[in-house]
Amino acid sequence: MKGLMRNYTMILRQMMLARNALLERQRSLRSWKKLSVRQAPTLMRRHHSTLFRCYVAGNAAAPVKGDKAALLETKKKEMEVKRAAAASKGAKVFYKVTVKDNGMGMPDKDIPNLLGRVLSGTKYGIQQTRGKFGLGAKMALIWSKMSTGLPIEVRSATRKQTYIAYYKLDIDIHKNEPHVHAHKEELNPQKWHGAELSVTILGNWQYYRAKVLRYMRQIAVITPYAQISFHYKAEDEKNSVSITFVRRTEKMPPPPKEVKHHPASVDLELVKRLAATTATSNLQSFLFKEFSCISKEYAGRLIDEMRSGADVETRPGELDNKQITRLHQLLHEAKFKEPDGSHLSPAGDAHVLEGHSFIVGAAVSIGGRDIKPGINVYRFANRIPLLFEGGSDVITKTALKRINWAAYKINQGSDKIGVFVSIVSTKIPYKGAGKEYIADDMDELVHAVKHAIQQCGLQLKVKITRQQAAREQKLRRKNLTKYIPNAAAAVFKVLQSMAQAPAVGDKRRRLEAEEDILSPVTRGETVEATLAQRLIEYVERIDTDMALEYQMQQGVAEAARQDLYLMPLGAQHEYGAELHSNVCVLKLLQPA
């Protein structure tokens, strides 16, 4: 309260100083006498309101020239806040939201505690999990209770259950206990298993419609093994929405595995908690069994290095604060094998950040219908889309500022570029209380994201180069073919005139004897159409050779090579010597 009053006093003081400065400036102006009584207070109110907004925003410094991206991001956030405020003042409607899946379901007797009680527990291991807080269903229940006061309805069945368990419940926020309004068993003739939750909330569909659909699309992108259906039923049927994202693969990634804590990832409080709750009888077993990458021999060496009165047989629960502090310090100073990332899903090349493995997956696309020109970034963390505060995220900053797109034959300004980056880890380094963006101040993470996008750029460059070569080849062929009829007619006229004229000179007679060009013209075997066909064949052959040479110059020849066999028509055949080139090795068939 004191801090709030202090801030308020400072705001009033700044406002009074600004008022006095404004009055002094107005007195010095010649036009002061022309101002009406109404105009002066209006100017003062405008000045005061501007000063107040700047102070509340944190007295931010004036934007540096050239930092247009940060300024645009700030303005975008301000516009978003204004739109959200306008939406909150708009008409709100009660909506019933139902979510249904065909998963493993929840046991009947555990449903009240799973949904009606906010639980906390001690983690003896770490595991990659979807989501951010692990409170999704409980937060929906509390939101329903706070906005409408209505309970939620739950239907669930496990694979072994012969019935569907139905609950209508809410949560006692003060006692942190479930309050069950109704419970019954329903028939399950379809042998369905999974969970279905229905909540009634207060909302504004017109304002949040685009965000909901965007979230559903991105969920479908990151989970191609699931079929997702979304249905919105409006009072007017023409305003209803029904979208289904079909399953694009039948292969599911393996589930992530739980692993022990890496010594480099633990903090002091975690070491204390593990020491107090471990079932091991001595300190050596404690280090060996409760942490990963520590062998029994190495655990003994660590205990010897502690030099704080503890030995191998000391019970972990008997360690005092000084000994635990020394152990924690030693765990961060000693060298340990890095975790390999095999416990993450989907698997890939793992990196390590503060003792936690993480994997970065990326994809880059060009073109598309519902995408605007420029770089469009789609961020995912542990298979969950991140929709807000993208300007501060490591993925967005890397895609916009750290990648030279021109090196991959991509125009950053005009091409429709989609950058998809997914990060999975046992600990995502979020920033902010809402966990809406990932930190940009960790070199390991920045390097991994940049490398993943660059590798996608290299693969895309190969395809773009091939497409450009094909387009140029088609254009060259079109331009050359356009002049073939005229060229064939002109050449044929020259040959006709030469065939009709008598042979004069030794050179002419020698050429006729060796090449025999004019005789077919005289006999009618060579006509204008024959010349046109020969020119077309020549253009195609030369064009193919030029395209191959162009691709070799652009590095396409460095792509993956594979053996290619052509089956000869006859059973009897022999191959000649090998003919080597930069792109292939040929063995020509020898005539029988």
pLDDT at residue 21, as a whole number: 54
Q: Given the structure tokens 């004191």, which residue do they identify?
A: 2
What type of residue is 27?
Answer: R
State how far the Cα of 398 lies from the Cα of 452, in Å rounded to an integer.
11
State how far the Cα of 406 lies from the Cα of 313, in Å rounded to an integer.
63
pLDDT at residue 561, as a whole number: 53
State how far the Cα of 453 lies from the Cα of 364, in Å rounded to an integer.
7
What type of residue is 295?
Answer: S
Beta bridge partners of 168: 153, 182
CA distances (Å), 268 to each of 239, 263, 289, 330, 537, in order? 56, 11, 18, 11, 79
CA distances (Å), 554 to each of 320, 407, 447, 476, 549, in order? 67, 12, 27, 18, 9
pLDDT at residue 128, as a whole number: 67
pLDDT at residue 548, as a whole number: 64
Quick: pLDDT tens for 108-163: 999 998 888 876 554 445 666 665 555 677 788 888 888 888 899 999 999 988 99
State how far the Cα of 204 lies from the Cα of 207, in Å rounded to an integer.
6
- DSSP assignment letter at 65: T
Determine what percent of the chain is predicted with pLDDT higher than 90.
23
Q: Which helix (H) or strand (E) holds 582?
A: none
Quick: pLDDT tens for 322-363: 988 999 998 988 888 888 778 888 767 888 888 888 999 999
pTM across the whole model: 0.67
State how far the Cα of 237 lies from the Cα of 217, in Å rounded to an integer.
23
Under 8 Å CB-to-CB from 542, ≥6 apart: which residues?
A: none
State how far the Cα of 396 lies from the Cα of 73, in Å rounded to an integer.
12
Residue 192 contacts residue 102 (beta carbons within 8 Å)? yes
**Mean pLDDT per 10-residue segment, the chain (592 residues):** 41 50 50 36 33 31 48 67 59 85 91 80 58 68 84 92 92 85 93 93 87 91 91 90 92 85 88 89 90 89 84 88 90 86 79 87 89 92 88 92 92 91 90 83 92 93 85 82 88 84 74 74 83 85 68 52 63 73 72 63
pLDDT at residue 510, as a whole number: 75
Ramachandran region, residue 351 (left: φ > 0; alpha: ψ -120 to 50; beta: rest): beta
CA distances (Å), 362 to each of 214, 356, 379, 414, 534, in order? 19, 20, 10, 21, 50
Q: Which helix (H) or strand (E) holds 184?
A: strand 177-187
pLDDT at residue 471, as a whole number: 84
